[in-house]
Chain A
Amino acid sequence: MRAQYDKEHFRKHSLPTPFYPRMAELSQDSSWHCWKGYLSADYFENVELEYFAIRNACSVMDLSPMSKYRIRGQDAEAFFDRMVTRDMSKLKPGRVGYSVWCNDQGKVVDDGTIFRFGEHDYRLCAYERQYEWLMISSAGFDVDITDETEGVAALSVQGPTSFAVLSKMGLSGIETLKPFGIVHFPYHGGKLMVSRTGFTGDLGYELWVGGSKALTLWDELFEAGKHYGIRAIGTHALDIARIEAGFIQAGDDFTPANHTIRKDHDRSPFELGLGWLVHLDKPNFTGRRALIREKEKGSRYRLVKLDIDGNKPAHASYIFHGRKKVAGVVTSAVWSPTCKQNIAFASLEVAIDDPLNDLWAEIYYQRELQWNRVWQRCRVHDEPFWSPPRRRATPPGLF
């Protein structure tokens, strides 16, 4: 399979997504970054305001750069069951499941969401490009794999008024859509798919259309949302929300196994706190043998959510046992505007005799160019920092 680029593709490093014309109008500082080859907004106007759109009203983020693959065929379920760690027989048509997949060494290649459209029809959304991995993994399975990244445009619509906005748009029946459910609507001669999914830990949906309908969708959505606090957001705001929600991010909280050069820099699902996704009772899946061994022998690391004293985010801090022995490093950190907590994820080395009740962060922070250092006590937090009931309420509330 070849991608449909012409020789001229080199003229811009990052390509515009189908929503770019609208986003460019809103972007106050033209602050973009490259997300897998596409222009993605850091923010449009103000990160804080955009963050509060997620938690207070309705946020809209362009998800189009996400790597998307369509997997169709008689063996599609068996193929996924073999590739990912989760028991895929439990994922029914019309449902979405989050999973990780591993290499033979039981180390995480990537994480992503699997959409089951029909009996033999799936979509995989992943952080990394996975075309080659899908090809390798599909050997012997009757499946057809196509890259849909370019053709499918997607918006993440998240926040307490998101349901109200979609209802206002006329998406009738959406009130019965449960978390991780999928519903399709006819849309201006094409199709609009809505899934009740997201990366914010809040009430929210993801909207998927063909690229040619993208601007229509954007316009109708913003028209419907104008009395509901709708706001376009960039990735900076999302990053705060996803840490509050306890969601790890490939590339931030772990390095995908196919990109790790140094020994022990990869991570197993257990080491990322994703043991709940590993169904060792499945007969066979890639990495199973190594994961059984790890289960017996123990893991090298554990990923913990930390509630840290004080208000200074522990970016890239070392975490210590008893302020003496290095226990690990912070992988993501942020001040939570909703919880009013100083929160972080940290990857800690596992040592049996080190309890987790005397953890300290060594935090460096800057004031007027001057660096200061402070020690803060950390407490391990088992639950997501933020998980409001509206996240699961069906039918959802209007705000």
Chain B
Amino acid sequence: MNKYDAIVIGAGHNGLTNAAYLAKSGLNVLIVERNPYIGGATVSRELYEGWTYTNCSYVSSLLRPEIYRDLNLARHGLQVVPFGGGATLTQSGDYLGSYTNHEVKRREFARHSLHDADAYERFSTDVMRYCRFIRPFLLRTPADPTSFKPKDLSELFFLGKNLYELGEEELYEFIRFFTMSVAEFLDQYFESELVKAALSGSGLIGTALGPYSPGTAYVLLHHYMGDIDGNVGAWGFARGGMGSLAKALAGALQEHGGELRTDAPVAQIRVRNGRTKGVVLESGEEIDAPIVVSNLDAKRTFLKIMDQKDLPDEVVERAQNFKIKGSSGKLNIALDGLPEFPQFPVGCPLIKGDLHITENFEQLERAYDDWKNGTWSKWPYVDMMIPTLTDPTMAPPGKHMMSVFVQYCPAKLADGDWTPDKREAFGQTVIDAIATFSPNFKDLILHTEVRTPHEIEAEVGLTAGNIFQGDLSFDQLMFNRPFPGYAQYRGPVKGMYMCGSTTHPGGGVMAAPGANAAREILADLGRENITPEDFGDD
């Protein structure tokens, strides 16, 4: 008799969510994590005494509120606090700010273009229409369009019904939307280069594509469809860093009797006679279970921890060709005080949000050109925040932590492998760029953690450091994620499942893949579905 009913590999947020649901259903679940700490990319670590970094993912919006509520994450210590503000700074000393008050936000747009101030309303309405369309699918298993099973037919019907409800005109627009570039999409509304550049960031984050690349419009939507307490499109900080999210999920797992083992890297998923048998750790230890769920990306799952002889050729080939490009790096900086941004008037709340320094598509596209040439961007896109202005737990009073998401940063350099020197040079490029806007910034730096795709892959385990566990391109979404025929969380071997962002609905710290995979596993076991449904809009 197996000690465990199921083993989940990887204690990132989706692995933890999946394991929590399996445990809640009454299964004996073990989650194994190769690092000495949990969280995967939702992790907060103290690398400099007194400062908590939010090392990888740094803001939350997409986390499904249904899961947040259902797993009692609040009681397990999670609090997502919305932040106000945000701005795109220009070299001329101006900026486009994003205020939380509607009228102030409008005036700020009007300061740059009266046309765009009005257009933003039309843009928001259109984006909300698409969000409203997509959101119900986040907590649903994608239909297999080639299947005639009642469940798939009913899912396809649901898809059709929702498409119909978009209305005829919107349906055309929506279909165009999936293959458009974010630049083309924004050009339909706005005239100001600064406005367009500021809004385009959401279409580029985590994506090895430029503003003019087809497919980036969808990525923008992907970042808009979340909410905080019903405030759609709002983002917030997990109090205590994104690691609190993983800790809360681990709390939920343990509440339901699940077990957690760190420092337990898996060498291989064991398969015998076409059935999953368990895992073998790198230490040689074998742990049996009839169900093994991989929270690793599709490439790593099928090419690293499975024996290719156990897999259909098609799966191996699909895994080899799976698009999972690295495009981003991260700097986490301990600061001795608050950096000054003199372009903001005294008391301006914009500094509390996400700050950016790329002011037109040209800069963004050139930044992407650098990536194509196998080097990091000379003038990067940054998504930089100072969470300590909102969250009092991350640094001593008066001190600050800055989280800087950086793009573009390739996984492989044209001049050979990443080295510590090159990593430092990359970090310096980013610091120099920020210092252009903040005269005292460099003097305040106490410690910097610099992470290129190389570190993200080596430490977190995301192939090529891709934050979404696979590109969010149309050919890898919905029933094609990760591969056609394998979008319903079941692997090619009986008893083997996938639950990471590599599956529908993709990355962004939603926890939806983990819950969706649990639903399919429970269905296969003939157990009652305990995963939550979408709250619904109407």
Contacts and interface: CB of A to CB of B under 8 A. Distances in A.
Given A1-B115, A3-B114, A132-B115, A37 B106 contact: yes
B167 interface: yes
Nearest to A135: B115
B433 interface: no
Dominant secondary structure of chain A at its interface with chain B: loop
A132 B103 contact: no
A276 interface: no
B107 A9 contact: yes
Interface in B260-312: none
A8 B122 contact: no
Interface stretch (B124-132, B147-155, B243-251, B485-493): B124-132
A258 B124 CA distance: 10
B348 A261 contact: no
Contacts of B117: 3, 129, 131
B166 interface: yes
A132 B109 CA distance: 13
A2 B114 contact: yes
A262 interface: yes
B266 to A, nearest CB: 45
Contacts of B97: 10
A34 interface: yes
A5 interface: yes
Contacts of B108: 5, 9-10
B121 A13 contact: no
A104 B169 CA distance: 10
A132 B120 CA distance: 10
Contacts of A147: 114
Given A2-B110, A37-B107, A131 B118 contact: yes
Nearest to B103: A37
B111 interface: yes
B36 interface: no
Interface string B90-118: 00001001010101101110111111111
Contact of A14 (B103, B165, B347, B348): B103
B117 to A, nearest CB: 7
Given A3-B117, A258-B122, A261-B128, A9 B111 contact: yes
A263 interface: yes
B114 A258 contact: no
B125 A5 contact: no
Nearest to A258: B122
B119 interface: yes
A295 B188 CA distance: 31
Given A5-B107, A131-B114, A261-B125, A13 B538 contact: no
A58 B254 CA distance: 71
A135 B114 CA distance: 11
Interface string A108-137: 000000000000000000000111110100
Interface residues of B, number: 35
A3 B111 contact: yes
A191 to B, nearest CB: 24
Contact of A132 (B111, B112, B119, B165): B119
B396 interface: no
A267 to B, nearest CB: 14
A10 B114 contact: no
Interface string B343-358: 0110111000000000
A340 B538 CA distance: 37
A37 B99 CA distance: 13
A260 interface: yes
A11 B347 CA distance: 9
A185 to B, nearest CB: 30
A129 B118 CA distance: 6
Contact of B118 (A37, A105, A132): A132
Given A5-B107, A5-B110, A259 B115 contact: no
A131 B129 CA distance: 22
Contacts of B99: 10
Interface string A229-250: 0000000000000000000000
Interface in A1-46: 1-3, 5-11, 13-14, 34, 36-37
Interface in B126-177: 128-129, 132, 165-167, 169
Contacts of B94: 7
Contacts of A262: 132, 538
B92 to A, nearest CB: 13
Contacts of B111: 2-3, 5-7, 9
Contacts of B107: 3, 5, 9-10, 37
A6 B103 CA distance: 14
Contacts of B125: 258-261
Nearest to B93: A7
Contacts of A7: 94, 111, 344-345, 348
Interface of A: 1-3, 5-11, 13-14, 34, 36-37, 104-105, 129-133, 135, 147, 258-263
Given A2-B111, A130-B118, 4 more contacts: A7-B344, A13-B101, A261-B132, A263-B165
12 contacts: A3-B107, A3-B117, A9-B107, A10-B104, A13-B101, A13-B104, A104-B169, A131-B117, A132-B118, A258-B121, A263-B165, A263-B167
Interface of B: 94, 97, 99, 101, 103-104, 106-108, 110-119, 121-122, 125, 128-129, 132, 165-167, 169, 344-345, 347-349, 538
The 9 closest A-B CB pairs, nearest first, are A132-B118, A3-B110, A37-B103, A1-B114, A132-B119, A13-B101, A131-B118, A129-B118, A263-B167
